[in-house]
Amino acid sequence: MLAASRLPSFVIIGAAKAATSSVRTLLQEHPQVFLAQGGVEPQFFARDDVYARGFAWYGSLFADAPDGALLGECSNIYTERERYPETASRLARHVPDAKLIYLVRDPLPRIASLWTQLRSHGGEDVHYDFATSIERDRELLIGSTNYWRQLEPYRRHFPDSRIQILFFEDFSADPEAVMAQICRFLEIDTGVKLRPEEAHQNRSDGKLGAPPWFSRLRASPTFRLLRRALPERLRIQVRKSLVFREVAKPVWTPELRRLVLDELRDDSHALLAHCGRPPSFWKLG
């Protein structure tokens, strides 16, 4: 078993596109904090292939931490229970005393931003048509936005006093105040000056991705054969210089908006009530 001093004291469990990258970046600046892999997501407790590397491997991610540093990690997929159902129980088994940080956001903007981000990754993780993606990629887009449901397995293992829920909207309005709140929760110095100008990371605006015609072309067996014949470096160059364009902004039709909100509204209201926020805090009408 690894020494307790080499285990993370806190884990940022998500949600993607709710300011997690910004919080992670600012925490990295804090002299009392050390993040695994320089903040790159280990995804250890979620993905079976990574978990199979063993807990000793996970502990090695903190080997370079200075003495006395508060250790932590950030993996947004830890709150995708539909795709990774063992995450909470694994985390509780290995780091039962950890504090958890969970950032949430108004559901519809979060889903649109997540879809844009995934389209910009260069693959076909989500369908190129936003409306089709809402149906086809339901678990990834809607499931992970059922925040209260995502928290349920963690609340079975961790007391509420060790789960800090934070709001993207508060961070956008006053990142310094939210970072001070996080520092108090982690019991580290709140007086350290963290640069707010570095706060907003990984914006969705202007992301480049495959246009719809290229996504359709990718489905062709002939295209896949031709693609494999090209050297990897040339494939990357063609994608970036000749193919990729700015990802079109998702459009919420009234029907699509109603479909998603009908699925998320009760869950969102439960989370807001738990956090002492009014139902009107998010646009759920």
pLDDT digits (tens, 9 = 90+) for 146-161: 999 999 999 999 999 9
pLDDT > 50? residue 140: yes
Q: Domain check: are 130 and 255 in the same one?
A: yes
Q: Domain check: are 164 and 230 in the same one?
A: no
Q: Domain check: are 42 and 139 in the same one?
A: yes
Residue 1 pLDDT class (50, 70, 90 cuts): very low
Domain region containing 72: 4-206+248-281
Identify which has the larger pLDDT, 22 or 236: 22
- Tens of pLDDT, residue by residue over 13-57, are 999 999 999 999 999 999 999 999 888 899 999 999 999 999 999
CA distances (Å), 122 to each of 19, 114, 132, 206, 233, in order? 22, 14, 18, 14, 14
Q: How far apart are CA 151 and CA 71, in angstroms?
A: 22
- For residues 146 and 102, the answer to whether their CB atoms sit within 8 Å is no
Per the structure, the count of domains in the chain is 2
Q: Domain check: are 158 and 214 in the same one?
A: no
pTM of the model: 0.84
CATH number at residue 13: 3.40.50.300
pLDDT > 70? residue 102: yes
Q: Domain check: are 123 and 229 in the same one?
A: no
Residue 83 pLDDT class (50, 70, 90 cuts): very high
Identify which has the larger pLDDT, 230 or 173: 173
Q: Domain check: are 98 and 235 in the same one?
A: no
For the segment 247-254, the average pLDDT, to the nearest whole number, is 89
